[in-house]
Amino acid sequence: MNKIPWGNNENLDNDQFFNRSIELNHLKQMLLTTKDETPPNILLTGIRGVGKTVFLKKIKRELEDDGFLVIYINFSQAECFRRKKMSINALMQFYFKKTLSSCNNNILENASEKLKKYLKTNNFHFKEFQEVNKIPIPIFNSEIDNQELMEYVLTFPEKIYKSNKDKLKGIIILIDEFQIIKELNDYKESFLWVIRSYIQDQRNIAYVFTGSMSLNDALISEISGHNGVFGGRMISFHLSPFSKNTVKQYLNEKKPGLKFSEDGFNSFYEYTFGIPAYINNFAKILSENIEFTSESITREFNESIYYISSNLVNIWFELSYKNKIIIISLLNCPIRRIDIAKYLNVKSGSLSSNLKELENLSLIQKSEDNLYSISEPLLEKWLKSEFNEKGEYPFTII
């Protein structure tokens, strides 16, 4: 029986979830200390497709069973991000709405009336309350002060806990796709400092921040580095790709009819980089009871790369024409900004916003010696495959 989920499935049941038992136990034990009023603040790192969201949602289910309120917030779902109108105000309103909607009616029973009273007596600038599943969600005015809004939103979980501490061991807040705060540009650093100022002294609230970031992403050091905003107080927790042995165990358990020669398996691992999302998509479409050699795996991979890398393909087609050309300029080798400008026949200064956008998407990276390169090897393979087959790069969806 094929028990392998598709690579874009973020909600795996216990039968589909594989391995990570050591990492799961370590992170869970850290977060359980929240009940003793010693909550951790954690930065969960890992490359795109390694399974961070699946991992967090597994943690969420287990901690909810242990008596915690677990709030999962995916910043990439915020309307302000999707419409490319990022602002602290809009992001905080999204944060607040997700916090409220994550609370069941039983937990909010004591907090809802206090919420209304607080907003009214403090002359908080809001338009109205909207009832969503009997939960009162205030709609704030756009002119509200950022500092005022952040103070209320970031201290609200404490109000929930204090009103329900007879029912809760603590509150865990999981913030996914946190890297999109890079879109705040000049406001990013101040946003991080404000977050730190409010959460560092909360005794019953733990935070886990994660997102798609390469290991040398500057945001990681800005958050958890010794000279970062959290001054080394943020705990770093890393999810690595699967080892060869783990991938063998996984495939034997989830799709036992899948057969490889030794070199065939080595090629399978080489093409999927040990990343669960790519392993799942490739293994899902391979036939069973046929022994795949290195040659046949290479053929299958080239024929199926569009589906294996579907998440990256979707990102590619959302890029502007100029951003696509920048990535194409990096396909042969890492190059400097001035060489990218020559390739595009533009001035080097005109590339600033484009390079920043591609770095924010974790599609390219800049080395210490200022060389730009593609940070997604599967995207690179797909583009080269498209060119080899069709003689041109894909700019539009056909």
Quick: pLDDT tens for 341-391: 999 999 999 999 999 889 888 899 998 899 999 999 999 999 999 999 899
The answer on 232 and 279 residing in a single domain is no
Give the total number of structural domains in the chain: 3
Q: Tell me, yes or no, whether 91 and 211 share the same domain.
A: yes
The residue-averaged pLDDT of 69-74 equals 94
Domain membership flag for residue 357:
yes
Q: What is the CATH number of the domain that holds 279?
A: 1.10.8
Kindly report the pTM of this predicted structure.
0.85
- The reported pLDDT for the residue numbered 8 is 60
**CA distances in angstroms from 250 to 1, 73, 226, 307, listed in the order given:** 13, 29, 37, 21
pLDDT tens-place string over residues 252-269 = 988 999 999 999 999 999
Q: Which residues pair with 43 in a beta bridge?
A: 209, 236
Same domain for 178 and 109? yes
End-to-end CA distance of the chain: 35
pLDDT computed for residue 20 by the predictor: 80
106 and 28 housed in the same domain: yes
Q: Is the domain of 273 the same as that of 167?
A: no
Q: Quick one: 226 and 337 in the same domain?
A: no
Domain end, chosen from 275, 293, 308, is at 308
- Tell me, yes or no, whether 227 and 262 share the same domain: no
- Please tell me the distance from the alpha carbon of residue 341 to that of residue 347, in angstroms, as a whole number: 6
> Which of 152, 165, 76, 75 lies closest to 115 in space, CA to CA?
152
Look at residue 133 and tell me if it is in a domain. no
In a domain, 5, yes or no: no
Confidence tier at 119 by pLDDT (50, 70, 90): low
Higher-scoring residue by pLDDT: 43, 231: 43
DSSP 8-state symbol, 200 = T
Q: Is the model's pLDDT at 327 over the cut of 90?
A: yes
Residues 224 and 364 in one domain: no
The confidence band for 9, taking pLDDT boundaries of 50, 70 and 90, is: low
- The predicted pLDDT at position 18 comes to 66
Do the Cβ atoms of 67 and 168 come closer than 8 Å?
A: yes
> Which has more pLDDT, 143 or 336?
336
DSSP characters over 106-168: HHHTTHHHHHHHHHHHTT--EEEEEEETTEEEEEE-TTS-HHHHHHHHHHHHHHHHHHSTTT-
Q: Judge whether 232 lies within some domain.
A: yes
Share of the chain above pLDDT 90, in %: 50
In terms of residue numbers, what domain contains 54? 21-114+145-238
Last residue of a domain, one of 205, 238, 271: 238
| pLDDT at site 105 | 56
Does pLDDT of 33 surpass 90?
A: yes
pLDDT bracket for residue 185 (50, 70, 90) = confident
Regarding whether 269 and 320 lie in a shared domain, the answer is: no
Write out the two tokens for 149.
Answer: 């809004």
The answer to whether residues 250 and 349 belong to one domain is: no
- Lowest-confidence pick of 140-144, 166-170, 194-198, 375-379: 140-144
How do residues 272-314 score in pLDDT, each as one tens digit?
999 999 999 999 999 999 999 999 999 999 999 998 988 899 9
Q: Considering 238, 265, 285, which residue would you say is the last residue of a domain? A: 238
pLDDT at 182 over 80: yes
Rounded to whole angstroms, the Cα distance separating 300 from 293 reads 10
Compute φ and ψ for 280, nearest 5 degrees.
-60, -50
How would you classify residue 84: left for phi > 0, otherwise alpha for psi between -120 and 50, otherwise beta?
Answer: left
Q: Band the pLDDT of 39: cuts 50, 70, 90.
A: very high
